[in-house]
Each structure stands twice: as structure tokens, then as C-alpha cells.
Amino acid sequence: MDNFFNIVWEYIYSFILTGVALLDFLLEYLHFLGPIPVIFLLAAATVAVTRVLKRYIKTKRHATLEKDFQHWLGVREEAMRCEDREKGKALAINIDKAQLNRAYYDYFLEGLLLGFLTFYLPAISMAAYINEAYKSERLMELFGRSYVLKFGTGEPVLIGALFCFIFFVVFIISSTFIVKWITKRYCTSSKDCTPDRQGGDGADTIESLSKHAIKSKNSTCNFSVRIEESTA
């Protein structure tokens, strides 16, 4: 078993060295732009890679857990719409203890593992590369200065490559979120815009729950027996 893990680690280490060498080769042709554009391009490439990984790396277990969670969440919402508030709250608590809490934690943990694989691992790997490839000595050799940005004159604040990379990643993600939020508001106010459902952003779930709410709007607590049987 130890020999097996040693072989696996050798392959992983060889893959890492190959990736570092490839990045060094490609970035040699971009250093004339300066440190800020190069680091921004690396941050943009990292965000793009994470989006692609997040879109295509999905497990059947995660899809099943998401469907199960949405199902019990819809049942709980139906219980809370009961005209008898006290009975509705009691049914909701029963659903939480019996099914919803477990479904949520399973769904959350599976999503956390996928998030680590599709976002945190690529981002941390690129951050480690930038921290090593653009340290002070390397910046001095490539660009004639040991920093990326400098603020102040008397005792200036020097900012390195790693901080700039983290800032650019957060900036790109925040900008993308703001653009999507503005576009969504525009699409909501304009009837000419049709929502994009590609990518699994939850639109189908929201629409199904909305239809479910309209269907059971005038219902009372006739579904309580069914809920109790489901949570038993």
C-alpha cells in the first residue's frame, strides 16, 4: 500500500512540475505588460477554470440530495401555509426533525466537497504558484522592483503579488455577481427577456415551488395526515 501511494504521489508531483513549467513558459511572453496585467489575467483565468469545473463536475449523489432537500423544503412550506398556525408550526418542526435537517446537512456537505474540488483547489494552487513565481526577488529580476503596488511616500505600503491576486479574484467574482443581479432585475422588469436556465441555477426549482404554492393556496390542513406519514 505504501508503495502504491508513493507511485501516486510521484505522478502528482510530476504533473505539478509540468504545470508550473508550462505556466512559466506561457507567461514569459506576457511579462512585457507588467505585473498588474499578468496577475489580473491569471486571476481571470482561475475564475474561468472554476466556472467550467463547477458547470461540468457534478455527482449523481449531489443531484439526488438536492432533489430530496427541495422536496422536503416544499413539504415544509406547504405545512407552514396551513390556516391553523399552531398545527402548521408543529408539522414544520416534525418535518425538520424527521427529514429536512438531515437532507440539508447531507446536501451541504456534498456541495462543500464539490466546492473544494471545483473552486478552492484551483484557486489555492494558483495562489501558491503566484506566491512562489512572483516573490520579491523574482519581481526585481523581471520588472525592476520588488513589489507590485506602492502606496504612500514617507513610509510607503508595498503590496505583493499574492494580495493582488486575491483582490482580483474577489473583484471578478463580485463584478460577475453584480452584473447577473442587474441583468436579473432588468429581466424581471422587462417581459421581453427570457431567463437562462442552463447551468442549474435553481430557476426550475423556484418555478416548481411557485406553482406548488399557487396550487395549495386555498388549502387548509387536509395534507397533515400525508405529511405525518411521510415523516414517520
Query: Which residues fall within 8 angstroms of residue 116, CB to CB, at 6 or more apart?
Result: none
**Low-confidence residues of the chain: pLDDT under 70:** 1-2, 190-232
Res 76: pLDDT = 79
How do beta strands 157-159 and 149-151 pair? antiparallel
The total of other beta-carbon atoms located within 10 Å of residue 147's CB is 17
How confident is the model at residue 190, as a pLDDT?
Answer: 66
C-alpha to C-alpha distance for 107 and 103, rounded to whole angstroms: 6
Cell numbers describing residue 209? 415551488
Closest by Cα among 122, 108, 117, 96 to 62:
108
Q: C-alpha 188: how far from its chain's center?
A: 24
Q: Which residue from 180, 176, 170 is spatially nearest to 40, judged by alpha carbons? A: 170
* Cell matching residue 229: 406519514
Domain boundaries, the chain: 1-33, 36-231
Q: In degrees, to the nearest 5, what angle opens at C-alpha 87 toward C-alphas 82 and 93? A: 100
Give the torsion sign (CA, 115, 121, 124, 126).
negative
DSSP string, 40-87: HHHHHHHHHHHHHHHHH---HHHHHHHHHHHHHHHHHHHHHT-SSHHH
Backbone angles phi, psi at 191, to 5 degrees: -80, -10
Looking at residue 59, what is its pLDDT? Answer: 84
How many Cα neighbours within 13 Å face the side chain of 212?
Answer: 17
Round to whole Å and give the CA distance between 180 and 203. Answer: 14
Task: Give residue for cell 391553523.
Answer: 84
Q: What is the pLDDT of residue 130?
A: 92
Q: Which three cell numbers stand for residue 19?
A: 504545470
